[in-house]
Amino acid sequence: MTRTYFGTDGVRGRVGRSPIVPEFGLRLGHAAGRVLRAGGAMRPTVLIGKDTRVSGYMLEAALECGFAASGCDVVLVGPLPTPAVAYLTRALRLDLGVVISASHNPYDDNGIKFFSAAGSKLPDSWEREVEAALPHAEGCVDSEQLGKARRLDDAAGRYIEFCKSTFPNHLTLKGLRLVVDCAHGAAYHIAPAVFHELGADVVAIGASPDGFNINREVGATAPEALIRAVRANRADYGIALDGDADRLQLVDRDGRLFNGDELLYLLAMDRRPAGVVGTLMTNLAVERAIRAAGMEFVRAAVGDRYVLEELLARGWQLGGEGSGHLLLLDRHTTGDGIVAALQLLELAVRRQQTLADQLAAVQLYPQTLVNVRLAPGVDWRRHEAFAQARAEAERSLDGSGRLLVRPSGTEPVLRIMVEHPDPAFGRGCAQRLGDALRRD
């Protein structure tokens, strides 16, 4: 059975259009509750958190109703980062965690994703079970079985203490000035406190959510605001999170932006694990540097859940992707922007060396990405001109670079990425491939 509503990171869409409507939220909560109870949990308890979008109120109420109708108790925590929901679900020994968020998307999108009792993302098979239960998600259990709801008032404080616990007790952030950009999102009342309580002088931006400004010209997807603030405040580092605080962008005092591939390299070179998991988009220079240092490197499909699956399958602990999702399974069960930032600041403090200096040994290869919208009826896998151009491109790269071709999962678009030390060569190669498809 294929999934109709669940994508790579839960259910997501435009608010007011199916499935991001209250009726579906109620049915989804009811269906997920039915699956929990069918799995043997007699009186399941579900934790529901959200980011700062105005639509979160509506979806929170709908989900609460659906879970209660199916016989599940509900714990409400209000605005809280996605990794905080994962942590609290595990720490409180609950049965399921639910996050209402569309991550880095604008305010008029929203989504719903789930975490297991262990604080990890649930497999596709569980999502298929929930979808199979949706047609039967109606009515309610008998009155004596209905769920109750309560609010956990100290949720933010508990998570702040958890984040701080991942930073070594013998070190401090005293002497560092940090700009922390919360994207007007779920970490607005948490991230500044974490870094301040560890000793840093904190300048907070993007920390005044109004329900409509999440990710608007701030946060991990708009790092220009962070760069300006770091320079204006003469800060040592800038930390940008996205709307649900599971991804990280980092800037140094010179305004240099470090992407997720570079941050993954820094962590790998410090920890020297047996292996590291990247994605199909991880820069080739990072892969080669990690392998040269004696570590294994494997690529997963794009998406932090696929990185996590590969880590678990191999028994490894470190992985990530260029967007800033970093997984450190010895610190947390899921990607966490605040925790990842703390591990990188620990490197700078412990080594008394800037992150830029620690990165001097690796230079990223320029990546050229071309998106080609496919005409109706065009099958790129059987396109003769494209096949010839692709074979020629691979011959010309001859191990000096990398070609990646992958279809979009949501639209009729083929994504062509060429990676090569010479940016002009990469651009020309990608353009020729795109032109071969456009001839139709």
Looking at the DSSP bridge assignments, the partners of residue 8 are 10
Around Cβ 317, how many Cβ atoms within 10 Å?
A: 18
How far is the C-alpha of 396 from the C-alpha of 257, rounded, in Å? 31
Q: Which amino acid is at 62?
A: A
Q: Which two tokens stand for residue 267?
A: 């962590």
Are 13 and 111 contacting, i.e. CB atoms less than 8 angstroms apart?
yes
Secondary structure (DSSP) of 236-294: SEEEEE-TTS--EEEEETT-PEE-HHHHHHHHHHHH--SEEEEETTS-HHHHHHHHHTT
Looking at the DSSP bridge assignments, the partners of residue 413 are 373
Residue from 55, 103, 116, 120 carrying the catalytic annotation: 103
Are 228 and 120 contacting, i.e. CB atoms less than 8 angstroms apart?
no
Are 67 and 103 contacting, i.e. CB atoms less than 8 angstroms apart?
no
Secondary structure (DSSP) of 198-226: TT-EEEEES----SS-TTSS-STT-THHH
189 exposed, middle or buried (CB, 10 Å; 0-12, 13-18, 19+)?
middle
How far is the C-alpha of 196 from the C-alpha of 163, rounded, in Å? 12
- The CA-atom distances, in angstroms, between 14 and each of 2, 18, 78, 108, 418 are 22, 8, 21, 6, 32
Q: Which amino acid is at 393?
A: A
Q: By C-alpha distance, which of 61, 270, 59, 90 is closest to 168?
A: 270
How far is the C-alpha of 277 from the C-alpha of 300, rounded, in Å? 7
Looking at the DSSP bridge assignments, the partners of residue 404 are 417
* CA torsion through residues 219, 222, 225, 226, sign: positive
**DSSP H or E stretch at residue 31:** helix 22-38
How far is the C-alpha of 7 from the C-alpha of 393, rounded, in Å? 32
Residues constituting the chain? 440
**In the annotation, is 103 catalytic?**
yes
Active site residues: 103
